[in-house]
Structure 1
């Protein structure tokens, strides 16, 4: 299993080659690994990559509701090294979010920051806190999903429409995320998703199949969202959903988690045994 299911550099590290099998949520993972030259088409044909759909992509508490007055913003952290920084935590992001909320007549923002935010660069915590204040000044009510709240934060947001706890509603109309595993998690829930991207990001591994889905119009800014118009966030692109979520065996979609694991162990053991048998027959 790779580093989540995303177009980040961490998802296509060459170390993947040491494993007998690699798991992907769908065809997107196969095409991404081929694009990065991690595996060859022949290895794919020999079941090097196994599609397990939404089994290992991670879970979230959100549900889609076309009438909801909430949108979700889920920024990632600044990465372990600068080359893997895909975070949209920036003052420009707050302005874009406020504009989109106004266009869709949404008054409530649920924000779920990555738990590692500020781990490498503490300045991101300060920027994030100021983003919350800017969004609140725009007339929005903010619900931040945060497991630990410091006294400093309680004082900073005292008497503001900023609530540092689990949101009162988990039903959202759409979500805005960074290039991260949250994207496919939300698509699996059939929640429409828009993706932020910085101009200076170089390490992207987006398959050609998706090239029209990630068109970023920076318009002189350093941060952009791949939202061409309001209809982009009105519904889930079924073509993209089926590309992200697929199964090696159709029956897997209808099995529970435990039964999927049993199937995976049995399948990999049998396939490994067969490959070893073929190797011995050559000598």
Structure 2
């Protein structure tokens, strides 16, 4: 059996996974905590950036990972190193976490076990998710089970309203909260290229296959469609360098996508394209396949000491859109159909690559208008419950959110149960 990934952070800092459910810090009950239930250890890395930014805090909102047999096996084959910020405790359920009455549990994943966790009425339950995207998973009806739900901005808010998952009353009375880019991770090892950069790259980020019957699969990897688009984008921009960052869950349900990934990279190498792999968040299956079949392809360290300038990004419908908006990196989105959300259609058509798109022309047209197009997009994606939130740092936003939830303005209104 291949060795599983060590659950280290995106910059090489190690994550320590403890076997107990004791809090990381003082023995007094916690005001808040982060609860993660995931079948893969690499999910920890998706949460780590929020500890680095300060929206979560090891002392005030430590991370608890639900015990699973599959996770135990992965941990057994992981190289675990010393504890750092964002260290992880294990627990059997939310009731196993040392929270004070009225404490706040944050949920970055919409996992099945959350449905039982929210029945604990001694604490508040807040769905944050771990990014912002137009995937259907971002508007599941199960969101109504949580006491409070955060959204990045107007686009996510309206998505919930149009699906009738939340009402205008939920918005107006502070149950559905706009928190801007607070829960959109950053990737400090990439930045937008400038005119002074000699060899900027194109970043390609294929997403995973999604659960279910395929309707929720937004990945561009089947039949290597994304690689064909990437080749056209290279021609349009006269670029010769590519960085590929696969989704952490890629290929766990459909191994054929890992095959498509490997074959696409081999095709690029045959065309003498400089290819580099960003596998810091990748699962062990993807890593093992790349180690076996692509041993000579360069791996990036993904550290602040080796920041990659990007001419543009190519991503599927996924959280990478919001990440690149947050970091002001020009990017286009690969979609499976011509259907575009009406709320953003006026400008979004110019940055999407649909099945009938002439990629070379579309890339050149988008890059000519990228600054204005992305400014409109950013305004729709990021918004704030209160204007002051935009100027707050992450720690202050965390304090504001915990205070808002513990004041419980929505549920303590007349006629509502406390």
TM-score (norm 1): 0.85
Equivalent residue, structure 2, for 1:16: 143
Equivalent residue, structure 1, for 2:206: 75
Residue 239 of structure 2 aligns to a residue in which SS? Answer: coil
Q: Is the 8 A contact 1:194 1:233 kept in 2?
A: no
Q: Is the 8 A contact 2:236 2:360 kept in 1?
A: no
Equivalent residue, structure 1, for 2:166: 39
Q: Choose from 176, 182, 187 the match for 2:314.
A: 176
> What are the residue-to-residue correspondences of 1:237-256 with 2, within 5 Å?
237-256=374-393
Q: Is the alpha carbon distance of 1:89 and 1:35 closer, same or farther for their aligned partners in structure 2, counting shifts above 3 Å?
A: same
Equivalent residue, structure 1, for 2:334: 196
> What are the residue-to-residue correspondences of 1:127-146 with 2, within 5 Å?
127-146=260-279
Q: Is the alpha carbon distance of 1:231 and 1:73 closer, same or farther for their aligned partners in structure 2, counting shifts above 3 Å?
A: same
How far apart are residue 151 of structure 1 and its match?
A: 6.7
For residues 217 and 260 of structure 2, the distance between their equivalents in structure 1, rounded to whole angstroms, comes to 15
Q: Is the 8 A contact 1:76 1:113 kept in 2?
A: yes
Residue 84 of structure 1 aligns to a residue in which SS? Answer: coil
Residue 264 of structure 1 aligns to a residue in which SS? Answer: helix
How far apart are residue 226 of structure 1 and its match?
A: 11
Q: Is the 8 A contact 2:335 2:354 kept in 1?
A: no
How far apart are residue 233 of structure 1 and its match?
A: 3.0
Question: Aligned residue pairs: how many?
Answer: 271
Equivalent residue, structure 2, for 1:27: 154
Q: Is the 8 A contact 2:174 2:409 kept in 1?
A: no
> What are the residue-to-residue correspondences of 1:132-281 with 2, within 5 Å?
132-147=265-280, 153-154=290-291, 156-158=293-295, 162-166=297-301, 169-199=307-337, 207-212=341-346, 213-214=348-349, 216-219=353-356, 228-234=362-368, 235-236=370-371, 237-270=374-407, 272-273=408-409, 275-279=411-415
Q: Is the 8 A contact 1:177 1:195 kept in 2?
A: yes
Q: Is the 8 A contact 2:130 2:185 kept in 1?
A: no
Query: Is 1:89–2:221 an aligned residue pair?
Result: yes
Which 5+ residue runs of structure 1 have no aligned equivalent? Answer: none
Q: Deviations over 1:214-268 (max 9, x none)?
A: 465423x9xx879834131353321111111111122222222221110111123
How far apart are residue 49 of structure 1 and its match?
A: 1.5
Q: Choose from 248, 253, 275 the match for 1:115.
A: 248
How far apart are residue 122 of structure 1 and its match?
A: 0.7
Query: Is 1:126–2:284 an aligned residue pair?
Result: no
Query: Is 1:57–2:192 an aligned residue pair?
Result: no
Q: Is the 8 A contact 1:28 1:207 kept in 2?
A: no
Which 5+ residue runs of structure 2 have no aligned equivalent? Answer: 1-127
Q: Deviations over 1:156-175 (max 9, x none)?
A: 3355xx31333654221210
Quick one: higher RCO (CA 8 Å, sep 6+), 1 or 2? 1
Q: Choose from 232, 239, 257 the match for 1:99.
A: 232
Residue 198 of structure 1 aligns to a residue in which SS? Answer: coil
For residues 130 and 193 of structure 2, the distance between their equivalents in structure 1, rounded to whole angstroms, comes to 29
